[in-house]
Structure 1
């Protein structure tokens, strides 16, 4: 008669250790592989863009740049970008995943007039506890730039400059959103993020920044780019739940919801 052999405690410990290392490694590797498909070509990484001067001149930095081409004019894409933010229309990525990690983010794909203004000094909240970056420069229809820097904390109410608990003394990053016109009414949307820290050359702190902060960022930014493209091109399907509930309402012409992007324009 066959009697299955029970795994020994040492074998279970090895399996647990393998899972503890292997599962996060697989997840973070997938994030980079997925996000990499939106990375800018190497020759585009050094092109001058708005916001390049936000860090100090002697700051060494890491650069993450992703981009996408959109079949819609720049002014249509801009109305989608204007509504980015946790306290506005969300980040157009995977809101359910963001909420799983405690981010109070809900995506809204309607055009909201009150969310269209982007002004210097506004704060882009990523997390409701105060993590985010402050808008430093705006050219409506073309770009806005933002900065989080522990050397120059934000002035916006409730906004903070993040200092990750990785043994760092200083931490700063820019997050810049740039639209460039392409032929035939198309738009290039470039998303550039430069990050510096002190100390900069210590392997473990830098690796923790790249792995723990960089991996989710590269993944979620690609998702955001794809959703901005979908919205601007008028391909965002209507929410089934919203459609059902809204049929029970009586709307004035001014109050009726309007979709973002090409369908609204």
Structure 2
């Protein structure tokens, strides 16, 4: 008998229905929602095809490819990419969310001439604790970043010195392609690998939706800034 005042335990049928509902929700996410998040804005060809920078994480366990068309020429978009980073031009995303976890991101609405010099080997900071290394750069067309996150400390490891414990390898590539005389296609690809698999799987469930939220906003932020800066007569002075 149930003690007076105690709540009845869930019936087996109720638990079964809850389990089925959770399984259905998970299946719907994997089959319908997740593919859209991972290739938001990208064509089938862009999402499936190889891109420069893929070699940074050659065998990813996770990959996303997202894209936007910007009504400005490549020369009007590239400067916004070059000045990416914490303590630089920002990430053009949700600053308030990034700063809520102490990343120190402040996105500018201006092209900053002092931040237009970037070269292979430079670090694009993503927080006060570190960032991603520029692995490949072709002015006006390619910016490829890479690095390894130590999952125990939450810090980026120095190049060539991967942590011995749980880690997340990151490759993040931006490709610019002309889409007409005054339009640009901006494609962003992220590739991840992690070790051990069990730790990565738990991290993945959080990483994918958060990364989609922030990267989508970043691409739209770059688009709005580049289009506002550019006019049919050319860039404003």
Smaller-chain TM-score bracket: 0.7 to 0.9
Closer/same/farther in 2, CA of residues 60 and 224 from structure 1, 3 Å limit:
closer
Aligned residue runs from structure 1 range 119-138, under 5 A = 119-130=119-130, 132-138=131-137
Count of paired positions: 205
Which residue does the alignment assign to 2:183?
186
Instruction: Say if 2:218 is the partner of 1:224.
Output: yes
| 1:84-105 deviations in Å (ceiling 9; x for gaps) | 1002110001111211121111
Aligned residue runs from structure 1 range 57-96, under 5 A = 59-96=59-96
SS in 1 for 2:56: coil
Instruction: Say if 2:158 is the partner of 1:154.
Output: yes
Conserved 8 A contact 2:132-2:147: yes
Which residue does the alignment assign to 2:16?
none
Which of the two has greater strand per residue? 2
Closer/same/farther in 2, CA of residues 198 and 72 from structure 1, 3 Å limit:
same
Which residue does the alignment assign to 1:173?
170
Q: Which moved more, 1:144-153 or 1:89-98?
A: 144-153
CA distance in 1, matches of 2:206, 2:120: 29
Aligned residue runs from structure 1 range 101-140, under 5 A = 101-130=101-130, 132-140=131-139
Residue 154 of structure 1: how far off its partner (Å): 3.2
Which residue does the alignment assign to 1:54?
56
Residue 206 of structure 1: how far off its partner (Å): 3.4
TM superposition score normalised by structure 2: 0.73
Which residue does the alignment assign to 1:5?
none
Residue 183 of structure 1: how far off its partner (Å): 1.8
Aligned residue runs from structure 1 range 18-29, under 5 A = none
Matching residue within 187, 192, 196 for 2:193: 196
SS in 2 for 1:171: strand
CA distance in 1, matches of 2:77, 2:176: 8
CA distance in 2, matches of 1:109, 1:235: 9
SS in 2 for 1:227: helix
CA distance in 2, matches of 1:186, 1:233: 10
* Structure 2: gaps of 5 or more residues: 9-21, 151-155
SS in 1 for 2:222: helix
* Structure 1: gaps of 5 or more residues: 1-7, 12-21, 237-261
